Structure 1
Amino acid sequence: MMSKRNRKGLSVLSVVMILCGNLVGCSGMNEDSKDVSVSAVEERIKQAVSLEEMEKGDMNRLKKLYHIDEKEVQDFVLYTAVSNVKANELVVIKVKQADQVESVQEKIRERIEAQKVKLKDYRPKEFYLVERYVLKANQSYILFVVSEDADTIEAAFDEALS
């Protein structure tokens, strides 16, 4: 039979072990450890809006439009308008290192400015969409979208990474 003192010590030890287990288990759950595939983000966006009127781009297209080097990109998905008179664009980029986020965003801002110049007097409706762009970062992920559905796409991006 266990003495009262041993049972009390065992109870305290059990509580300490449970607390330590919780601390160790939760320590890896900070925001930096979130690792969602870009394709999962893409699927979440596709559930929210239709991307059928856009075409999917590859690394060459990403380089051409944004001058982003593949050394900066771990993974990405790119959709652009089928016609060059439309402004719709969607890109989700996961950079290789978190310190690359700002430089990639700056390259996207350069693209935004180029689109504004191109569309300002020529396509007022498309210019309006460009003016309402969404460019945001969440950890190592970057979202850039020009679309009538920009708010919905932004919400889907946020949900996918939450």
Structure 2
Amino acid sequence: MKRFLSVLLMFAIGMGMLAGCSSDGGTTEELSAAKVGEKIQQTISFQDMKQGDLEKLQKLYHIEAEEVEDFILYTASSNVKADELAVIKVKNTNDTENITEKIQQRIEAQTIKFKDYRPEEYFLIEKHVLKTKGQFVLFAVSKEVDQIESVFDGALK
């Protein structure tokens, strides 16, 4: 009987350790902006967009490297298009409001740029998505903005 209880106890401890070490991959602490971007790219095509780097992130949004843990950035390949996608994982959740304010300045600048020049692109800017969820900030200007938002929300459940 003692042996049976010992085996049962060892089994319970082992299962507890396995459950504690398992990961569902859905927690925002483990999720990177690149992984969210990959999920979005599985839904929509980035074919007509070019990937941006830290320099481009700083130029467009005036966001400093110290504020960002990870990010993806895609912009239109032509300056006559308004398409943009940024998924930013901030180092500190308290910085999300500051980041969204900086992105809002970009939205305002793009609105002025496209309003009279390219009405169809201006419409996309007006329908943009700018939202935060935990450490993540999503900014999207696209015809597929609803799909992008849906994938973003699903990735961060």
Q: TM-score, normalised by structure 2?
A: 0.83
The alignment yields a C-alpha RMSD, in angstroms, of 2.6
**Residues 24-39 of structure 1 aligned to structure 2 (within 5 Å):** 34-39=29-34
Deviations 1:62-95 (A, max 9, x none): 0000000111011100000000110000000000
3-state secondary structure, aligned to 1:125: helix
Quote the residue 2:44 is aligned against.
49
3-state secondary structure, aligned to 2:66: coil
Query: Unaligned 5+ residue runs, structure 2?
Result: none
Quote the residue 1:157 is aligned against.
152
**Residues 7-18 of structure 1 aligned to structure 2 (within 5 Å):** none
3-state secondary structure, aligned to 2:65: coil
CA distance in 2, matches of 1:67, 1:39: 20
Q: TM-score, normalised by structure 1?
A: 0.81
1:68 aligns with 2:97: no
Q: 1:33 to 1:121 in 2, by over 3 A?
A: closer
CA distance in 1, matches of 2:148, 2:27: 22
Output the amino acid matched with 1:127.
Y
Large movers: runs of 4+ above 3 Å: 31-34
Identity of aligned residues (%): 51
Quote the residue 1:121 is aligned against.
116
Contact 2:71–2:89 (CA<8 Å) still a contact in 1? yes
Quote the residue 2:90 is aligned against.
95
Q: Which has the larger Rg? A: 1
Contact 1:34–1:161 (CA<8 Å) still a contact in 2? no
CA distance in 1, matches of 2:69, 2:107: 22
Query: Unaligned 5+ residue runs, structure 1?
Result: 3-9
Contact 2:27–2:156 (CA<8 Å) still a contact in 1? no
